[in-house]
Structure 1
Amino acid sequence: MYAQRNCPFVYKVTAIEKVVDGDTVDVVIDLGFDVRVSQRVRLLGIDTPESRTRDLEEKQFGLLSKKKLKQWCLKAVESEKDDIELELRCEEADSRGKFGRVLAEIWVTEDGHATNVNKWMCDEGYAVPYVGQNKADVEALHLQNREKVRHEL
């Protein structure tokens, strides 16, 4: 089960440049006063199947996870509704992982209802909870998720 984090640092996302895979996205962050910065973001606390791999079965599920993340992100930034917002919530002001990516939860707020996309990805079977352990340690969870979402392929 995904453990929601205490993420007091909130940043508004104004554009999606690219959804890299199911747990990584390139975004434009609005820092205020017309200052914007492009950053690569790693979704905090989750792991998704790889979409760039020689394992064709894993690749199918990785592409499905990527598709679901993309749907959430595009819903927020391409909507004509004024009340949909996409934001990053971070544990620290400059929260970065070992590859220099911003570590954050992605939240989409629509009609006053906020959804933690990281948690949603885990709940729906597109990701597994991940806190830096070895990939082999989460493999069984990934295999369980495959059965949960296989009908979508």
Structure 2
Amino acid sequence: MRYLNRKINFLALVLLLIVSFGCFGQKKETGQTRTDLPQAVVVRVVDGDTIVVNLNGMEEKVRLIGVDTPESRVNKRAEIQSREGLGDTQTVVELGKEAKKFTVSLVKPGDKVYLEFDVQQRDKYGRLLAYVYLQDGRMLNKEIICNGYAMPLTVPPNVKYEEEFRKCYKEARENRRGLWKE
């Protein structure tokens, strides 16, 4: 009888470990909806790294932390990006339009998203600064970089995912994804 109890306890422990590791693995692989974060509804995509959401009944412009996509309109920033080596200003704008199209493929008006803030919640223009999570648990910021439609942009003190973003960027460039195809 004592041997049988030990065997049952051992099997119960093994089963518990299998279930525990199985659950953790599943969350990591498929993503986990971040319902613990503030929920917002997408109103529109402004460009590759900026969206407008309805948060608590107010429209807020959200700048994605850690992400820098090419500009989708001719402006001073597009000229700077041109000088940084993305091509002439028109090329920068074309790349920016591609980046926006990719972002639009991930978030559409009416989609629920979850916002994670870092140290600083707003930039000097009054935009919310956030990591945006999709319904399936993927982080929009990271998806844009990993798929090759943005460069990482680190602006302290918001540096929580800096290393992850740099790793994604390097991999996207090496594997010629998104804007880096040619």
Structure-2 residue corresponding to 1:12: 39
Q: Which of residues 84, 91, 96 in structure 2 aligns to 1:57?
A: 91
Is 1:108–2:129 an aligned residue pair?
A: no
Q: In the TM superposition, what is the alpha-carbon distance from 1:42 to its structure 2 partner?
A: 0.2
Q: In the TM superposition, what is the alpha-carbon distance from 1:150 to its structure 2 partner?
A: 4.9
Structural mapping, 1:2-151, within 5 Å: 10-14=37-41, 16-29=42-55, 31=56, 36-53=57-74, 55-74=89-108, 77=111, 85-92=112-119, 95-110=121-136, 114-132=137-155, 148-150=177-179
> Aligned in 2, Cα 1:97/1:47: closer, same or farther, shift over 3 Å?
same
- Give distance in 2, aligned partners of 1:39 and 1:10: 16
Letter aligned with residue 108 of structure 1 = L
Letter aligned with residue 91 of structure 2 = E
Q: Deviations 1:30-79 (Å, cap 9, x if unpaired)? A: x3xxxx111000001110001012711111110111111112111872xx
- Give distance in 2, aligned partners of 1:42 and 1:105: 9
Aligned residues: 121
| Long gaps (5+) in structure 1 | 1-8, 78-84, 134-140
Question: Greater strand percent: which structure?
Answer: 1
- TM superposition outliers: structure 1 runs of 4+ over 4 Å: none
TM-score by length of 1: 0.66
- Identity between Structure 1 and Structure 2 (%): 28
Q: In the TM superposition, what is the alpha-carbon distance from 1:98 to its structure 2 partner?
A: 1.5
